Amino acid sequence: MKLSIVYDNEAKEGFKSDWGFSCLIESGDRKLLFDTGASGDILTYNMQQLGIRKEEIEIIALSHEHGDHTGGLDVVLHPGVAVYLPRSFSRRLKKNVAEKAARVVEVSDPKEIFPGVHTTGELGRGIKEQSLVLDAEEGVVVLTGCAHPGLENILEAATVFGELYGVIGGFHGFDKLESLQGLELIMPCHCTVRKKEIWGMYPEKTVRCGAGEVIEL
Ligand SMILES: [Zn+2]
Ligand SMILES: [Zn+2]
């Protein structure tokens, strides 16, 4: 499985950085785009740099309904795509997606999206959010948008799919850094407040995040 960071607060040379998050998952010939960043123009630019065409995207999964994760949605919707979104999303957004995509899948419970890729289901009481759980050889890797439900709660929910191996994405204000000890791969992206402390505590396990970064699981 291959992960390409398409949109992030940081960027590799040749890519644009902006507050927001988007990541492409490729497994065999299947492509899933997780979140769409804030700006359609920046999303399009970074996708071009990575050689991604929207028509190749079979599934779009949206973590939560904040503009820095859904803002670029319109530029990647196409008549062949299925969109997985938390059931709590607004009627307005669901209607927009239903008009432009092949299929809308409203998510509430944990389930498989396709072999090797699962959703935690909709978590959290305030801002509801789904995270993805990816099968890697060594265990499962959790992919978060902003981790509003609390990263520790998301990691806990992901354990139904296997032993935790890594975590990638926005961790927001998460500060129970010692609870990451058991993980082998930590890729703090986007809104993670304590990036520097994570690097300091786990220098050998932490991987740099930024638009244009590609990792193999
Ligand atoms: Zn958010
Ligand atoms: Zn965010």
d(CA 193, CA 183): 19
Ligand 2 centroid from CA 8, angstroms: 9
Asked if 195 and 177 touch (Cβ cutoff 8 Å), the reply is no
- Residues with a beta carbon under 5 angstroms from ion ligand 1: 66, 146
Ligand 1 centroid from CA 193, angstroms: 13
d(CA 85, CA 60): 8
Sign of CA dihedral 203, 209, 210, 212: positive
**Which amino acid is it at 182?**
G
Query: Which parts of the chain have pLDDT scores under 50?
Result: none
Q: Does this model's pTM top 0.95?
A: yes
**Which amino acid is it at 149?**
P
Question: Judging by DSSP bridges, how do beta strands 139-144 and 132-136 pair with one another?
Answer: antiparallel
Q: What is the pLDDT of residues 150-165, one digit of tens each?
A: 999 999 999 999 999 9
* C-alpha closest to that of 84 among 63, 70, 67: 63
d(CA 133, CA 95): 27
Ligand 1 centroid from CA 68, angstroms: 7
- Return the ligand number nearest the Cα of 190: 2
Ligand 1 centroid from CA 22, angstroms: 12
Domain that holds residue 210: 2-216
Ligand 2 centroid from CA 51, angstroms: 24
User: What is the end-to-end Cα distance of the chain in Å, rounded?
Assistant: 5
Looking at residue 167, its pLDDT comes to 98
Q: Which are the contacts of 185, defined by CB distance < 8 A and separation ≥ 6?
A: 141, 165, 166, 167, 168, 205, 207
Ligand 2 centroid from CA 69, angstroms: 6
In the structure encoding, which two tokens stand for residue 215, read together?
């990792």
CATH number for the domain including 123? 3.60.15.10
Sign of CA dihedral 95, 100, 105, 111: negative
Q: How many domains does the chain have?
A: 1
Q: CA 35 → CA 38, 39, 190, 198, 203, distances in Å?
A: 9, 11, 12, 24, 27
- Return the ligand number nearest the Cα of 193: 2
Ligand 2 centroid from CA 133, angstroms: 18
Ligand 1 centroid from CA 19, angstroms: 11
